[in-house]
């Protein structure tokens, strides 16, 4: 079930994003071929309360009992990612089953934008295909515990509740100071602001793309993939292949 967005996360109009990050941000504001580029509007719901959250599993590299662990072998190296079924059960189940059944084996990272993200999971290899294990799109699973920090594994989509098989890993290494100021104004948790500020990430994608995992080993491989030469459509000129994804836990 899709969770309601807490007031503390409703932020960043398009004007603020463009002012903070420049017009080049428009390209980065997409995480799938048809992703809309408008940012979430700042709203104030009457009677809404801020939620105090202390559990941010992405900030630890340890794999908790209630988390899962997968190993993604690519043609450029191996990436280990922990998954969060407690907060994004459908996204995790979808990814794990696809992985176990070999759905992702041999697929490429079809869209790579340096200092933004690397995207894969499309059997068509161009961002137009893929489906969930249920054969139909499934709903977004947003959580106040998970964010699009550097290293986050998130669902790509073409709008609200259109999740299928495509995913991306956030690779952005920095945070614009103006963006940090906007998060502070919006009431983001201190720990998350610090994590964004220290390591980077894409906060404008929060509550627009379901976060369901976090890289705990192999960010150097993610960076290496992001640094590969691409064509005019952001597709690597030399295929970067997902050889397979093993479920370790």
Q: Active-site residues: which are they?
A: 111, 116, 119, 157, 168, 205, 209
Token code pair at residue 109: 């990272």
Token code pair at residue 237: 């000129």
Instruction: Give whole-number Cα distances, 219 to 116, 121, 153, 171, 200, in Å.
Output: 13, 18, 12, 8, 13
CB 117 within 8 A of CB 222: no
Please give the Cα distance from 239 to 145 (Å, whole number): 34
Three-state SS for 93? helix
Instruction: Give whole-number Cα distances, 27 to 14, 147, 228, in Å.
Output: 13, 20, 18
Please give the Cα distance from 134 to 165 (Å, whole number): 10
Number of Cα atoms under 13 Å in the Cβ half of residue 105: 8
């Amino acid at each position: 079930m899709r969770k309601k967005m807490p007031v503390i996360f409703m932020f960043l109009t398009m004007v603020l994003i463009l002012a903070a990050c420049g017009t080049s941000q428009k390209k980065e504001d997409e995480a799938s071929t048809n992703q809309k580029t408008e940012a979430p509007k700042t709203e104030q719901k009457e009677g809404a309360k801020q939620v105090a959250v202390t559990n941010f599993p992405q900030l630890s590299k340890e794999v908790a009992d209630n988390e899962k662990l997968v190993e993604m072998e690519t043609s450029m190296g191996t990436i280990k990612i922990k998954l969060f079924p407690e907060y994004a059960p459908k996204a995790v189940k979808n990814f794990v089953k696809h992985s176990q059944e070999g759905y992702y084996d041999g697929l490429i990272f079809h869209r790579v934008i340096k200092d933004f993200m690397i995207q894969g999971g499309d059997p068509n290899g161009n961002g137009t295909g893929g489906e969930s294990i249920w054969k139909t799109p499934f709903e977004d699973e947003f959580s106040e515990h998970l964010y699009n920090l550097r290293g986050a594994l998130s669902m790509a989509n073409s709008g609200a509740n259109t999740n299928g098989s495509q995913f991306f890993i956030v690779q952005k290494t920095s945070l614009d100071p103006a963006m940090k100021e906007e998060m502070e104004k919006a009431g983001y948790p201190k720990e998350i602001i610090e994590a964004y500020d220290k390591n980077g990430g894409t906060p404008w994608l929060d509550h627009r793309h379901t976060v369901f995992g976090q890289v705990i080993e192999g960010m150097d491989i993610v960076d290496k993939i992001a640094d590969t030469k691409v064509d005019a459509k952001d597709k690597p000129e030399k295929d970067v292949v997902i050889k397979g994804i093993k479920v370790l836990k």
